A and B are shown apart, each in its own frame.
Chain A
Amino acid sequence: MKEETTMNNWKNFTKGFIKENPVLVMLLGCCPTLGTTTSAINGLSMGLATTFVLVCSNIVISLIKNLIPDKVRIPSYIVVIASFVTVIDLLMQAYLPGIYETLGLFIPLIVVNCIVLGRAEAFASKNGVWASCVDGLGMGLGYALALMILGAVREVLGSLSIFGWQFIQADGILVFVLAPGAFFGLAYFIAVVRRFNK
């Protein structure tokens, strides 16, 4: 019995990486994916900020799910999520001001990231605290990983550097750090992941 739950938790954790990856397979949360992945660091920090909100809101929602009447479910979830978004917003302002400035508008916009509300509705409102926490962590890290890889690819091609380290002193293919590059990058990323998921 116990072994089974561990297995389950492990499954809940890993499904977010490839099989049910929120961006690459379920196509949720595309806006920050396109908007913040100009470099690997930016993508990673956006992903981690989302993970924080995802885990916290999943935990709280699975705790209070029985106290909330069905009809005001969604507004209540939104309040919980928005509160955690504000918390991470304030914390980043205080302790990571540089990253906060580059991510800008996309931090408060975690509220409307479909992944967060989607997991609250689809998972946390039906499962226990521990499972919800694991689910949030898995989904969040899967999201962060996808964002980091996309960011890294765009950074390598666009500015010939990786994690801020410039390996060739020259201009890259600029279009990759600009808006169109985001669309192209994500398109091919999704196509590649589809190939492997088959």
Chain B
Amino acid sequence: MAKKQSSLINMVLTLFVITTVAAVALGFVYYFTQEPISQVKEKRLKEALTKVLPEFDHQEAEEIDGTPVYKAFDANNQLVGTAIEAVTDKGFGGDVKVLAGFDTEGKIFGYSVLEHKETAGLGSKMGEWFQEGGKGNVIGKDLSTEAKVRKDGGDVDAITAATISSRAFCDVLNRAYATYTASGNTCAQQTEAEPQEEVKEEVAEKVEPTNEGGNDNE
């Protein structure tokens, strides 16, 4: 077969045909993968929720100020917990996104780090560090008093050599709790929307050095 000439018509026609065929073919693939992709997303959300919430039957998704909130109900339509997907930009390497689950009393039931860019081996430990049995366990904590690392006068044990990542983690929890209260299911007595900034800065510097080691990289 002879090679086609590079005339203008030939060139335009070839490109047009190729792109059209490609677009149609991709349309087909897209059509057939749409279903599995949305199923996978659903499944992963469900798995993430099961990790951070008490046993539940079905969930309802809503958004408060752009923050996704998932309310979980048992088979009798009783609320068993709320999960909030909170983000903070205070991380060492960028945004930290955490799915935090609260039980009906507003205590942390579980959390799962969805996204972070913290340094591997230091800040990246936040996925296990603050879990039950981890060194900085926050499970069961009541966040009506803000979560803070010990250096800042709080009672959360920071990750060794990764204070900034730990602060970011506390911040993300506090944000999640703020959304949790805003979502309306708080125990009535502690509705004050805490002004988050002021206390932090002053206490931050002057607390006696802890035994975390001087090598504070993050």
Q: A interface vs B, CB < 8 Å?
A: 38, 64, 66-72, 75-76, 79-80, 82-83, 86-87, 90-91, 93-95, 97, 158-159, 171-172, 174, 177-178
Measured between beta carbons, the chain A residues less than 8 angstroms from B29 are: 86-87, 90-91
Q: Residues of B at under 8 Å CB distance from A?
A: 1-7, 10-11, 14-15, 18-19, 22, 25-26, 29-30, 33, 36-37, 40-41, 44, 119-122
Partner of B11 from A69, A79, A83, A91 at Cβ < 8 Å:
A69
Q: Cβ of A94 and Cβ of B36 under 8 Å apart?
A: yes
| A87 CA / B32 CA spacing, docked (Å) | 11
11 inter-chain pairs at a CB distance below 8 angstroms, sorted by A residue, are A66-B2, A69-B11, A71-B11, A72-B11, A83-B22, A83-B26, A90-B30, A91-B29, A94-B36, A159-B121, A174-B120
A159 neighbours in B (Cβ, 8 Å): 120-121
Given A69-B10, A76-B15, A177-B121, check contact A93 B22 (CB 8 Å). Answer: no
Interchain CB contact (< 8 A) of A90 among B3, B10, B33: B33
The answer on a CB contact under 8 Å between A79 and B6 is no
Q: Are A177 and B120 in contact (CB under 8 A)?
A: yes
Of all chain B residues, which has the CB nearest A178?
A: B120
The chain A residue with its CB closest to the CB of B2 is A66
In the complex, the answer to whether A174 meets B121 with C-beta atoms within 8 Å is: yes
- Scoring A64, A66, A71, A94 by chain B CB atoms within 10 A of each residue's CB, the highest score goes to A94
Given contacts A69-B4, A79-B19, 13 further A-B contacts (CB under 8 A): A68-B14, A68-B18, A69-B6, A69-B11, A79-B15, A80-B18, A83-B25, A91-B29, A93-B37, A93-B40, A97-B44, A172-B121, A174-B122
Choose from B14, B40, B41, B120 the contact partner of A69 (Cβ within 8 Å).
Answer: B14
